[in-house]
Amino acid sequence: MSFSPDIVERLARARADLRMGVPIVLTGGGTAVLVMAAETLDRDRLADLRVLGGTPHIVITGRRAETLKARAYDGDIARVRLPADADLKWLRGVADPADDLMSPMKGPLATERDGDADLHRAALKLVKSAQLLPAALSLSLPNAGAFALEHGLTVIPTDLAAPHLSSTSPLHPVVHARLPITAAEAGRLHIFRPEDGGEEHYAIEIGRPPRDKPVLARLHSACFTGDVLGSLKCDCGPQLNAALMQMGANGEGVLLYLNQEGRGIGLANKMRAYSLQDQGFDTVEANHRLGFEDDERDFRIGAKILKEMGFSSVRLLTNNPRKIEMMEKAGVSVPERVALKVGENAYNSAYLATKASKSGHML
């Protein structure tokens, strides 16, 4: 029968569990680990973990390990052995760089160099996809099935989950309706919903662009602070408005509004990055200290929406070469790049300079 959740639905359940502080169980290769997100872990569950025995680890990304001067023997991740006296404050200090400058010495941190790290790597991917700090507490479980059943925990077989952790969820159109906007009265809003339970994405279609010609298009990542609040720390709001106005003047175009706040790390982590910028780090350095890459967004989502709407070629409004590269790889040709240089001010000039020098933006 079809009542049991499939692997995509179980992954959505696992993300929700991690965000609430509920443990999950990952299995694979004849082994299993209990996993908890460091950000949402509480004292009671940490104490109960100690009772189980064994050697718990806090798993962090290679980026975070570099900041903490911990050896990442697994390359992209590091499995840090949990000291016997480590409390919740210590765990949060390893996971969250907020107090790195005030308390730079977190160690010495002893990291594992032997054994398979695939389950730990999958744990971090899940925690990151839940938009939490990329740090997970893990413990090997000898009788995982019985343990999960006894405690009602979600079990994720990593062999089934792996393809879904590295691919983009299929998107389906939900509804579209006429929406006159300031930039163009001939506006139409399309809603697309991913199968994996993630956030919906939107397409604002201006006019009736022909599907057999390159359409003026922009991939715009959601920016609550810039698009809604008018933040001066970035150029997102001005870019959004300028792109829509250009499409309105052109009589047609498509703006994809992708819910990938903060370059894909979520609003809470973006605010953590802003706090680090206030301490003197640039936008790339802040992301790295948090344990993220420069840019965690998946622009394949935009290509899928465009193809679903019938477009195969775009005149792309962007300064980001990575968007062009991703579009081409995903099967949407970009015969022309249209520059979009607006919104520079005294508060974001350093940010824009960093995007140009470290992320290759064509500014």
pLDDT per residue as tens digits for the range 99-130: 888 876 677 899 999 999 999 999 999 999 99
CA–CA distance, 242 with 196 (Å, rounded to integer) = 32
User: Helix-strand-coil percent breakdown of the chain, rounded to 5?
Assistant: 40, 20, 40
CA–CA distance, 341 with 235 (Å, rounded to integer) = 9
DSSP state of 99: G
CA atoms within 13 A on the CB side of 290: 30
Q: What local confidence, expressed as pLDDT, does residue 105 receive?
A: 66
Establish whether 263 is a catalytic residue: no
In the chain, the amino acid numbered 232 is L
DSSP state of 207: S
Angle at which helices 283-290 and 267-278 cross, to 10°: 120
Judge whether 164 and 124 are in contact, CB under 8 Å. no
* CA-based R_g, the chain, Å: 22
CA–CA distance, 201 with 261 (Å, rounded to integer) = 12
Q: What local confidence, expressed as pLDDT, does residue 348 receive?
A: 83
Q: What local confidence, expressed as pLDDT, does residue 315 receive?
A: 97
Low-confidence ranges of the chain (pLDDT < 70): 1, 104-105, 363
Q: Model's pTM, two decimal places?
A: 0.92
Q: What local confidence, expressed as pLDDT, does residue 247 receive?
A: 97
Q: Which of 118, 297, 300, 322 is catalytic?
A: 297
Q: What percent of the chain stands above pLDDT 90?
A: 90
Strand arrangement of the beta sheet that strand 154-157 belongs to: 77-81, 57-61, 135-140, 31-37, 24-28, 154-157
Q: Which of 13, 295, 300, 322 is catalytic?
A: 295
Q: What local confidence, expressed as pLDDT, does residue 108 receive?
A: 85
In the chain, the amino acid numbered 99 is D
Establish whether 297 is a catalytic residue: yes
Sign of torsion over alpha carbons 154, 158, 159, 163: positive
